[in-house]
Amino acid sequence: MPYISLNNGNIENNKKNKKSYKPRKLSVVFLAIILIFLIFQIFRMINTYNELQLKYSEQSKKLKAVNKIYIEKLKILENLKDKLSERGVGINGKSIYEVDIHNVAQTSQATSTKSTTPSN
């Protein structure tokens, strides 16, 4: 059987190659994990954008419907104001006042419901 000499240098070179191989493998795995995470985040952001865009279109449709109802009610209010002003009743903001047709001065005194005749 032939004599084989084992040099310590050859063993150390093999160990160095194995040590240098691990950091490369770890860096590739680390970069792959980061890449997968970034791709996931991009798809999540695109999905969120599409959902928000759909919600916005639904809300804008609802806003148009509510504005239509508001305009109809505003027209009804204007018609009521016109009809009441023809009859001598005015609306000023939240207060309602009656226009005196016969030009009789209105007093601020309250009228009592009691009769002025004495009862026996």
What is the per-residue pLDDT across 38-50, written as a single tens digit (0 to 9) for each?
999 999 999 999 9
Assess if residue 3 is contained within a domain. Answer: no
Assess if residue 64 is contained within a domain. Answer: yes
Assess if residue 120 is contained within a domain. Answer: no
Split into its structural domains, the chain has a count of 1
Is residue 91 within 8 A of residue 81, CB to CB? The reply is yes
- pLDDT band (50, 70, 90) for residue 3: low
Domain of 13 in residue numbering reads as 8-98
Assess if residue 58 is contained within a domain. Answer: yes
Judged against a pLDDT cut of 70, whether residue 103 lies above it is answered with no
pTM: 0.50
Assess if residue 103 is contained within a domain. Answer: no
Assess if residue 118 is contained within a domain. Answer: no
More confident residue, 103 or 52: 52
Assess if residue 50 is contained within a domain. Answer: yes
Residue 89: other Cβ atoms inside 10 A: 14
Assess if residue 46 is contained within a domain. Answer: yes
pLDDT value for 10: 55
What CA–CA distances, in Å, run from 92 to 8, 23, 84, 98, 109?
106, 82, 12, 11, 22
More confident residue, 110 or 59: 59
